[in-house]
Amino acid sequence: MTLPMIRPMTAPMNTNEKTRILNETFGFTSFREGQEEVVDALVRGEDVLAVMPTGAGKSLCYQVPALVRDGLAIVVSPLVALMRDQVAALALNGVAVETINSSRDRAENVDAWLRAADGRIKLLYLSPERLMTDRMLAALAKLDISLIAVDEAHCISQWGPSFRPEYEDLARLRQVFPSVPIAAFTATADEVTRADIRDRMFGERCHVFVQGFDRPNIRLAVEPKRSWKKQLLEVLAEHKGDNGIVYCLSRAKTEDAAGYLRDNGFRAMAYHAGMDAEDREIAQSAFMTEPDLVIVATIAFGMGIDKPDVRFVAHADLPGSIESYYQEIGRAGRDGLPATAHMLYGLDDIRMRRVFIEQENGDDERKRRENRRLDAFLAYCEAPECRRQSLLAYFGEASGPCGNCDVCQSPIATTDGTEEAQKLLSAVYRTGQIYGSGHVVDVVTGAATEKIRSAGHDQLPSYGSGKERSKDEWRSLLRQLVATGCLKIDIAGYGGLSMTEKGELLLKGEETFRYRPDAMPKKGSGKTRAKSAKTTDLSEDDRPLYEALRELRRDLARERGVPAYVIFTDRALQDMSARRPQTVEEFSQCHGVGEAKRREFAETFLTAIAAKIG
């Protein structure tokens, strides 16, 4: 249903007002791309659907209008932990903010409500189920409501994977508050979900802002899996002392990997759905407050992690789809500083993923669709073009080579491998299309195994036909034959390889095959690259001060029981380390220092800076 837009005219917008708030309250000098349009629309009192990638700075888009407009802003957010951190961050910036939720006791909630009803606060954070009770709605209707912001708005769509029943009811908001501007925010941007959010929440009359999917500060890399533990260490070596997430497929592997990282001098904790709630809570809150902790997790970790300074996301196994990959790497670098997304994947990952699809309940059509999605993802892994370009293309966004991915930085030359492919295919064919990759490679390289002898495979013409190349090279070729659909893996049995139509054409010589020789690791490669990436905003001279300020921040955060970034973000500390303020005035010019934080922290930080730089 479309409702006419009857809105009271708000006072003409005061440009200075929003900028003043941006500077004085948040300590930022300018809006980021995409923010100002949303802020303006909301200040004018219009409905907004904003689709912005993670880290774009959605919160500011409603927080600034909430402070510019008269009255109380309602913010709807699905997760208590997220609300808590946002409220803590706003409060430290001197904003009058409250939350009413199930994690607080009744007296606190009553007190919060009284302050809201009294007009003493500017923003009130609520869960959807709290907001949509008749009592709450009736009570709010008596107040002057400045705007309603709905975070994670895709949860309202039944099309999407993150549908939450308690979000459904938010569709009534438009009717209940006919003259209050409503803003819906999401980072999930496919067209169907977007249209669905709009239909449910607004009807036709709303501004839709869609910002691209690109996260240019995240360096993308995909690496064939050889020995994942060693490779993981190499990735993490570039991120000593940083927060990061390592995703693994299984619970056992998270424990194994976390232990291995600890043995190698990292602070690491496992996180998976098999742990009890309390242990999960401990790991999560440690991750939020400790600046150098690595969480090794299954996908159970992530939703509700709103930490801007996650410096890397590593995948020790292939995620389920490009969509989940994009969502998971999106947890890195929300603060806009350089971050790394590094994925390892191998033949066995492909097999596991196919098995999962097979085991899912669902009809054949669904399985076919899932397999096609997986094919698209594998194509991304093997594509010899810029990663970002392929990733964005998948989401329908055109772009040029990015210069910030493994392929752009060391271009991959594909070479003709038709003859090699034929050697592998004929080995598969002649051994009866029932053996897995290990055996096939053994046959081609002429290994002397018991399995080969007993099956008589040393008598085949294929035996030893590929002696001139290493096992690693053959494995890599085999992976690419599977990824490009020339061979398929028997997922019901033991991973036996068999021919596809495409493979048969190739074997007959009616098709050619190009492949990318895997770069074998060179000692020390990558290190210099990461170092330069990391220090773009920080010179080596400033690093000791930066480290000292990080420690100070950690102590302050512990004292107050808030995440470290709530005190100051990395970006803010880097700015302080470079500027080395000596007066309160200089301190207040640093990134992220608004009036409230200047009052609260100037002395502590100035003292620490003076002590460190002597």
Indicate whether 333 belongs to the interface with ligand ADP (CB under 6 A): no
Q: How far apart, in whole angstroms, are the C-alpha atoms of residue 518 and residue 476?
A: 7
Q: How far apart, in whole angstroms, are the C-alpha atoms of residue 188 and residue 216?
A: 18
Indicate whether 28 belongs to the interface with ligand ADP (CB under 6 A): yes
Span from 27-35, 94-102, 109-117, 349-357 in contact with ligand ADP (CB under 6 A): 27-35
Indicate whether 57 belongs to the interface with ligand ADP (CB under 6 A): yes
Residue 367: count of CB within 10 angstroms of its CB = 16
Among 405, 440, 497, 596, binds Zn ion (CB under 5 A): 405
Nearest alpha-carbon partner for 90 in 416, 473, 562, 490: 562
Among 245, 402, 440, 506, binds Zn ion (CB under 5 A): 402
Q: Are 185 and 152 in contact (CB under 8 A)?
A: yes
Which C-beta is closer to ligand ADP: that of 45 or that of 55? Answer: 55
Least distance to ligand ADP from the beta carbon of 476, Å? 37
Least distance to ligand ADP from the beta carbon of 336, Å? 6
Which C-beta is closer to Zn ion: that of 185 or that of 325? Answer: 325
Query: Dihedral of CA 441/446/447/450: which sign?
Result: positive
Q: Which of residues 301-330 bind ligand ADP (CB under 6 A)?
A: 306, 308
Which C-beta is closer to ligand ADP: that of 90 or that of 425? Answer: 90
Q: Which does 402 bind (CB under 5 to 8 A by kind): Zn ion, ligand ADP, none?
A: Zn ion
Among 25, 54, 101, 437, binds ligand ADP (CB under 6 A): 54
Contacts of 339 (CB under 8 A, 6+ apart): 217, 218, 219, 310, 311, 312, 313, 332, 333
Indicate whether 97 belongs to the interface with Zn ion (CB under 5 A): no
Tell me the residue nearest to ligand ADP as measured from the CB: 57
Contacts of 180 (CB under 8 A, 6+ apart): 145, 146, 147, 148
Nearest alpha-carbon partner for 318 in 248, 228, 233, 389: 248
Indicate whether 211 belongs to the interface with ligand ADP (CB under 6 A): no
Half-sphere exposure of 453 (CA within 13 A, CB side): 3
Least distance to Zn ion from the beta carbon of 409, Å? 8
Which C-beta is closer to ligand ADP: that of 32 or that of 469? Answer: 32
The first and second tokens of residue 586, run together, are 């200089």
Residue 482: count of CB within 10 angstroms of its CB = 22
Among 52, 67, 97, 201, binds ligand ADP (CB under 6 A): 52
Least distance to Zn ion from the beta carbon of 514, Å? 20
Query: In this structure, are strands 218-224 and 145-150 parallel, antiparallel, or unpaired?
Result: unpaired
The amino acid that residue 565 corresponds to is Y
Indicate whether 55 belongs to the interface with ligand ADP (CB under 6 A): yes
Q: Report how far apart the first and last C-alpha atoms of the chain are (Å, whole number).
A: 67
Indicate whether 154 belongs to the interface with ligand ADP (CB under 6 A): no
Nearest alpha-carbon partner for 257 in 311, 305, 313, 316: 316
Span from 90-98, 292-300, 369-377, 397-405 in contact with Zn ion (CB under 5 A): 397-405
Number of helices (H) and strands (E), helices first, in the chain? 29, 17
Q: Which does 408 bind (CB under 5 to 8 A by kind): ligand ADP, Zn ion, none?
A: Zn ion
Least distance to Zn ion from the beta carbon of 118, Å? 54
Q: List residues near ligand ADP by CB under 6 A.
A: 28, 31-32, 35, 52, 54-60, 306, 308, 334-335, 569
Q: List residues near Zn ion by CB under 5 A.
A: 386, 388, 402, 405, 408
